[in-house]
Structure 1
């Protein structure tokens, strides 16, 4: 039973609400029964029986709670439930027994309830974890209770009733026995709950409830024996009613965070000083009784014997405890010695002069250092001469620090074989402890960790292919230059190679890697020693040059020329191009911003034709700020409702009727307006947001398809797949889950993958697209014809549809002229491979005629409809559709 077990069990069992309702109704029933009895409507015993239903109900709740708890944790709650049940049952049965047996019945119920409640308290978590502590609690409580009762017996009862209890002996004897049990039980209850070492609030609440039950029952027995008016009985029964409720409330609130400060382990001898007070009271009462009365009666002697036996038993148990703890200490000492002997860490003890006086056996095992080589020598003499002075100074400072101060030192220690080993040591001042009286040093060999750290640093900050620093290392260097007291003057150059991807595709990745290694060699040879060269990744390199921007432009031009020279690799010649961007180092800019500025300038150089350099200036600031704004505000754009889908129709060339639509993503930025995916999708990929945005597109498109199909518009919808999603191993499962969620058949969805993205990672593309195709989803190869490399893998790719790029149909076509030759080639290729062909970017009727002549079945472009919102595309369906379901099928003229 943990701190949250009871509350969790109540919530899961569905009883929480019912329990609180019953506990709220109990006071009402109690008050009604009292009023009915006082008004003469209900007999007094019947009213007590009605009042007894409350503890019974609380017991039922506790039993239910105990049943849903794990084994072991339920025992405490179960015993408390049985104790409450015994108390309530005694009241309920009271109405059915003769008047002469009422007090006896209540006394029996009280005794049973006391025993069960004490067992329940002992079994609660945090009160007594084992049988020794439980027995100790009972002995302490019994000793306190019997001693207090004995003092009360001598000082109160004997003067009033005499030692023989007088003429009313049986009734008084029953009352005395009840109060004896009550005194012992109450003392045990207080001791158990107050000495809980965990979950103390819950234990105190349950203990208070048990105390109310016991006190109420004891008073009730005495009042029944005295035949007092019913009103007094009802007042005494309040404890029997309120106690079980308080027990249940304490248990149900034990799920809250309790205050676990204070005692963290049960004390072994804490009960002895507490027991001495009531025993002293009993002794004082005995002396007073002897002084005033002079003799002991039978009952007084019997109670005195109980006190003596209890104290003797507790003393015997204390002796047993001492022996047990002595054995535990001996075992702990042996365990400690074995740990020290078997530990890999070396422990040394130094005196006030920092001379080694003792070392653990691990010194010989780990470092090959014998006692003869170490003992009696200064600790610093064991270390390298370069490390010894600082190490000795740190240890001397430790000696003047407060006691128990600790210092961490490191240095190279010479082992027994003459090898210098890197070590770390933790030194603690224990001179104030007589058993130690020195400085304790724990010494550890960290040579392997140090080598591993170097390897991790090398892997983290260097490029494994070229051996150059990577992007992280470049940014770290820029940060160090930024933090200099005097600003560094220089520039950042970013170089991007063109042609490396083609080398990888046509000659193989091994040849491409060899080209990159040669590029790194040429750049190192062309740069000055103080220039910093780094590989940013892929075919991008960066250079830090400590010169003015004009000089940096010259360096960039020279590097472009060096990289343009032919590469003799793989038994052939390779030609590459390069574009460069230059950004001047500005102290107010962060390292990322400096590299981003040079990257923007490099991209500007590529758009101007490449093989040139451009310098970052104010004209590019707007572009960089826009990119920064998009990067900062793209996260959460889907949740803010800023993303939108437009739909562009795909029609059959023959009759121009719609067969599908392509979902096109737009970002409705609140300040920048509409942002096209060509601008923000690369940002999303770099920021790791493309899965979230792609998932949003897939959900929206499938939801729209489901709506259209419900409205009798069975049209296909195409969504674009990013390069990152193409490499996701679980993307197929995501698509299947979305289709199932919206009950959309797989053939109603078309997934478009860009040609460049597919060629960049063909194995991943084959895996993902093949999985989608097996699922039943149609697969389209988008932008086909923008490069030459896709032809190499086209037969391997699991593709149903070729979407021919607009460049293939953009050539002028005069009326009556033959079909555009490139479009015709693509159509024939699709027919040979069993793929449908969709022509993109159709804008004129002449292009449609040429496509029809070439045998192209489907087309998409502004001639048929621009990307439009849902309402417009639905109107387009209604206007142009003939109601016959259509899908993109084999490449035939409609």
Structure 2
């Protein structure tokens, strides 16, 4: 269809091709939704709406193309902006769908890439207006509106593809299709404000190909991540880091080139300077957020390791509140004493201790509270198993009341029954003669 549009000699046959292209795209997206049943259909529904705007825009344009005294902007241009707004919503929703728990910084990345694209759009579309006083301001604004919104959509599509390492067919093809449409609209906008755009040509051909490329993303099973082959998002991938670095440096490079070469209007230099400053701020915010995420992840892994050690330890570890009641009991309580941990939540810890040692243990618990934060007491007592058997335990109580990680008394009981029995046997043998 693109080749036919570019080489066809009859102008009357060209514009219907541009109308048919987004119609086929609508059918492809609907077919993809029905075939692959993505869990989140909203992005694809908005993509269908975007193609609907494009059908209307091309239909209006085909009716106006052969008329005389048609001035830019037209209704077709307004519908074209509607296409980009719907496409932007679709791409943002897809990029949000690709975010992982430890990589929720899509807004920063989209902003950085969009600024870089926006600077390019400004130089190509808006800068000629400030350099040439004969161009109409409203026409220039309309010509820049669609590509600027398209730059945001392209940034969101890059974010979505990067989240899956550019290895998944659907997001990569979406990114390429959005890029084709964006290039076509940027060049078309510069031609329309000079009344140079018409039927045929490579630029119009890109407008035919782009909707079909975008829609082909819906035909692959990777359009539904839960069904397609996906990989976890990486916050530190080399490709992503290089891409974001290039996007951050692009406005700074353009600004330096404009200042050194003394090219561009004062308005353009101001806009590019603001864009460069904003891009750097977003990059710093992204870096700060990434460092915070790495720190949080390291802390969580440390806590997970500590929790795993506690869960698999034979020692009994408990967390006691200021009233002496148990708030947490490790699985060691079941393994050592046979009690279910859940049955002891909210009960006094001294109830676990044998009656003959209970008063002593209660005094030690009171002492660890009265000695204040970070106080530690150690003592031995007998704990009663669920079958009534007594086990000699070495107890350690640490006062961590008011702490950030743990707010309470951490009580650790280590079974020393066999050790004490052995000590008694050795003592008996040392002072007794087995013969007499």
TM tier relative to shorter chain: 0.5 to 0.7
Which residue is equivalent to 1:121? 91
Which residue is equivalent to 2:44? 77
State the aligned residue count.
Answer: 322
Structure 1 residues 255 and 331: alpha-carbon distance in aligned structure 2, compared to 1, 3 A threshold = closer
1:55: how far off?
0.5
Taking the TM superposition and a 5 Å limit, the aligned residue runs for 1:693-712 are none
Checking the alignment, whether the CA contact within 8 Å between 1:190 and 1:207 is kept in structure 2 is yes
Which residue is equivalent to 1:796? none
Which residue is equivalent to 1:291? 260
1:69: how far off?
6.3
Deviation per residue, 1:560-588 (Å, 9 max, x gap):
xxxxxxxxxxxxxxxxxxxxxxxxxxxxx
Q: As a proportion of its length, which structure holds more helix?
A: 2
Which residue is equivalent to 1:142? 114
Distance (Å, rounded) in 1 between the aligned partners of 2:34 and 2:162: 27
The one of 160, 168, 172 equivalent to 1:200 is 168
Which residue is equivalent to 1:343? 312
Q: Which has the higher contact order (CA 8 A, sep 6+)?
A: 2
Which residue is equivalent to 1:189? 157
Is residue 6 of structure 2 the alignment partner of residue 39 of structure 1? no
Checking the alignment, whether the CA contact within 8 Å between 1:189 and 1:207 is kept in structure 2 is yes
Distance (Å, rounded) in 1 between the aligned partners of 2:314 and 2:85: 54
1:127: how far off?
3.4
Where in structure 2 are there 5+ consecutive unaligned residues? 316-329, 338-377, 380-414, 420-436
Checking the alignment, whether the CA contact within 8 Å between 2:57 and 2:79 is kept in structure 1 is yes
Is residue 215 of structure 2 the alignment partner of residue 244 of structure 1? no
Which residue is equivalent to 1:235? 202
SS in 2 for 1:100: coil
Checking the alignment, whether the CA contact within 8 Å between 1:202 and 1:253 is kept in structure 2 is yes
Deviation per residue, 1:644-674 (Å, 9 max, x gap):
xxxxxxxxxxxxxxxxxxxxxxxxxxxxxxx
Deviation per residue, 1:290-346 (Å, 9 max, x gap):
233289612431342133224323433543454455345434433442332123678
Structure 1 residues 208 and 70: alpha-carbon distance in aligned structure 2, compared to 1, 3 A threshold = same
Distance (Å, rounded) in 2 between the aligned partners of 1:78 and 1:202: 15
Taking the TM superposition and a 5 Å limit, the aligned residue runs for 1:617-656 are none
RMSD: 4.4
Which residue is equivalent to 2:269? 300
Distance (Å, rounded) in 2 between the aligned partners of 1:334 and 1:273: 33
The normalised TM-score by structure 2 is 0.58
Where in structure 1 are there 5+ consecutive unaligned residues? 1-26, 347-360, 373-414, 420-894
1:85: how far off?
2.4
Taking the TM superposition and a 5 Å limit, the aligned residue runs for 1:306-385 are 306-343=275-312, 366=335
Structure 1 residues 323 and 107: alpha-carbon distance in aligned structure 2, compared to 1, 3 A threshold = farther
Distance (Å, rounded) in 2 between the aligned partners of 1:251 and 1:116: 16
1:134: how far off?
3.5
Q: As a proportion of its length, which structure holds more strand?
A: 1
Which residue is equivalent to 1:220? 188
Distance (Å, rounded) in 2 between the aligned partners of 1:251 and 1:274: 26
Structure 1 residues 34 and 285: alpha-carbon distance in aligned structure 2, compared to 1, 3 A threshold = closer
Distance (Å, rounded) in 2 between the aligned partners of 1:56 and 1:307: 40
Distance (Å, rounded) in 2 between the aligned partners of 1:207 and 1:137: 15
Which residue is equivalent to 2:29? 62
Structure 1 residues 292 and 215: alpha-carbon distance in aligned structure 2, compared to 1, 3 A threshold = closer
Structure 1 residues 294 and 248: alpha-carbon distance in aligned structure 2, compared to 1, 3 A threshold = closer
